[in-house]
Structure 1
Amino acid sequence: MQPLLRLLPLLATLQALTIIEQSLHKLHRPPSANHAEVPERLESAKAALLASDVKVKDWRNAVNSTTCTVFDAVDALKLVHDVDHLREVQAMSQTGGGFDTDTYCAPGSWEAVLDGTRAWADAVALAVDDEGPAFALSRPAGHHATRTTAMGFGLVNYACAAVAKALEGGASAAVWKSKFGRATWRFTKVHAIFPHRSAVSILDWDVHHGNGVAAIFGQEPRVRYCSIHEAGGFPGTGQDESDRGALGNILNLPLPKGSGSDEYFAALRDKALPFLLDPAPDCLLVCSGYDALEPDPLATMTLQPSDFAQSVDAILARYPRTRVALGLEGGYALGENGMPEAFTETCRALVDGA
């Protein structure tokens, strides 16, 4: 009995993390092999995690989701995008094309982004239900997509769709669960019945400002959004820290070009986390981009993979792990000290954290 009791804390830790994979991401294919936004991004992140010693509780395919169907994903996207924009994405994905030189659309892209939306919605649903942490492994990055425009590689805004679905009460449903061999009924949570009581905070540590998230939720009092990004970078927004938006629910933290861990952690610990977590929200969603890494070709910051593990540690020091969801945004260095390694270190911290 004593050896078994000593194993219980370890077993609990090993059941900490759920990965929800965008199964259909390969349908979103770039027009050339030289494009930064390629299927290898997700595949390399997945391979790195599977090759590591990080133990994942549950690895799910979004295409099999029963809590966010294709129809649910479309409804979630309609909450944050104009219908005309969604129709344009759907139409362009029939033949392929592009919204600009960066943001392409391939035959099958519509199906891929619906699958990505399902992954993010399920990750947020788990966190709102106090069953996180969960990580949506998807592409392309969506935090630049506005209500009416695809941009910055992103066709739709996964983060906003997932949060909007949760705020509408779609994140929690009465479900059957089995605990210790007994089926127990768990009713819909209070926030699903009274959605006005919900609150979600979004931390965006992608190196580029999430202009789409800021614009879509700038008038939503139930959402707080903070972006830590490189000053002067794409898309040129979020440069004024004093501009908190009309409701005071937006915090932009631009860092000088070439910033490293000292500048980054000062912004995270002293400004971002107090703003997002006091008072505590029902869920913290992290737009987890990894293009602030030193080898990334699209920016000049100098973070290392271990810095993202420390970022998770900083979060878990003041917020429950089970209410944290993450989704992959940018990150385009796939070699040594690149996105796959940083993604793995993030997951390791989610498993091993407090």
Structure 2
Amino acid sequence: GKRHAESPTRLVAARKALTAAPFAGRIVWTRALDSERTPQDAVAALKLVHTVEHLRAVQGLSQSGGGGFDMDTYCAPGSWEAMLDGTRAWLHATALAAEARGPAVALSRPAGHHATASVAMGFGLVNFAAAATAALLTARPEARVSILDWDVHYGNGVADLLREEPRALYCSLHEFGGFPGGGEEEQQRGPRGNLLRLPLPRGSGREAFLSALRDKALPFLLARPPDVLLVCAGYDGLLADPLATMELSPADYGEAVRAVLDEHGFPAERVAIGLEGGYALD
């Protein structure tokens, strides 16, 4: 619907900001359609984390005119092709980072970190981050991936899909008590202790966010240096965002990116960033 927060103008705003940035001349743009990753590669990656029945449901609903999976999560005509393009973008960004050719950024929508193996939820139809991680680990069995999720909502889907994967570490830095629930307690869990939840009090700002990132999230994720550090970058913790109560500024997210790229000694060229939420377009 036209009033839905998850709007195509999100990508318009992101591209406009990047092309106007002081570092715009250093950005190399690649369309998913022009990358080395094919639609067949995207389907293969998605099958690693989603059931065939779920993927058929997304494809079928999209190609039959669209409709809603729930009151917030919609599938439009063309959504299936958009999911393949988004997956290709995340596959490409992650592969670049694995080859030490980053940092790379995947711009896609909607946020996918809530989608589980068989359920579309939280705006997301498929889970880009989990699919990209699974595809990389399938292609490179010796590799390790660490995933930092700073979307304001707990990434339940990524945690669920990767909880049995010893080569992947996942940390979610999110607002306490928000959608979809389940992330209220700070806890390291998973069969191999590979999942870390870091809920922040409602209304948290710069100090709490950056302290948790620097003092807890990054030390956990980089304790054993991964081949790729993948950031599920949601920007819905901004003060103006309508879907949460945190009070971050764009400069705070800039500081978070600098912490990822410049601190803790992890090589910036092995970082991949993928867009998750964020609905305050200005």
State the 1:243 CA deviation: 4.4
Gaps in structure 2 of 5+ consecutive residues: none
Offset from partner CA, 1:39-58 (integer Å, 9 cap, x none): 00011110111122223331
Superposition misfits of 4+ residues, deviation over 2 angstroms: none
State the 1:240 CA deviation: 1.8
- 1:317 pairs with 2:260: no
Offset from partner CA, 1:100-151 (integer Å, 9 cap, x none): 0110001110000000000000000000111100000110000000011000
TM-score, L = length of structure 2? 0.97
Q: Report % sequence identity.
A: 62
Q: How does 1:183-222 map to 2 (within 5 A)?
A: 192=140, 195=141, 197-222=142-167
Structure 2 counterpart of 1:268, from 193, 206, 213: 213
Offset from partner CA, 1:256-290 (integer Å, 9 cap, x none): 00000111111111100000001110000000000
CA contact (8 A) 2:177 2:183 kept: no
Q: Distance in 2 between matches of 1:157 and 1:295?
A: 26
Q: Which residue of 2 aligns with 1:140?
A: 110
Gaps in structure 1 of 5+ consecutive residues: 1-31, 170-191, 336-354
Q: Secondary structure at the match of 2:241?
A: coil
- 1:329 pairs with 2:276: yes
- 1:149 pairs with 2:107: no
Q: How does 1:82-97 map to 2 (within 5 A)?
A: 82-94=51-63, 95-97=65-67
Q: Distance in 2 between matches of 1:268 and 1:317?
A: 11
Alignment-mate amino acid for residue 61 of structure 2: M
Q: Distance in 1 between matches of 2:27 and 2:70?
A: 39
- 1:250 pairs with 2:195: yes
Q: Kindly report the root-mean-square deviation, in angstroms, between the aligned alpha carbons of the 2 structures.
A: 0.9
TM-score, L = length of structure 1? 0.77
Structure 1 counterpart of 2:45, from 65, 73, 76: 76
Alignment-mate amino acid for residue 201 of structure 1: S
CA contact (8 A) 2:187 2:198 kept: no
Q: Which residue of 1 aligns with 2:79?
A: 109
Q: Distance in 2 between matches of 1:52 and 1:271?
A: 30
Structure 1 counterpart of 2:230, from 281, 285, 302: 285
Q: Distance in 1 between matches of 2:68 and 2:85?
A: 20
Q: Distance in 1 between matches of 2:157 and 2:275?
A: 15
Q: Secondary structure at the match of 1:220?
A: coil
State the 1:317 CA deviation: 1.4
Q: Which residue of 1 aligns with 2:98?
A: 128
Give the length in aligned residue pairs: 278
CA contact (8 A) 2:203 2:247 kept: yes
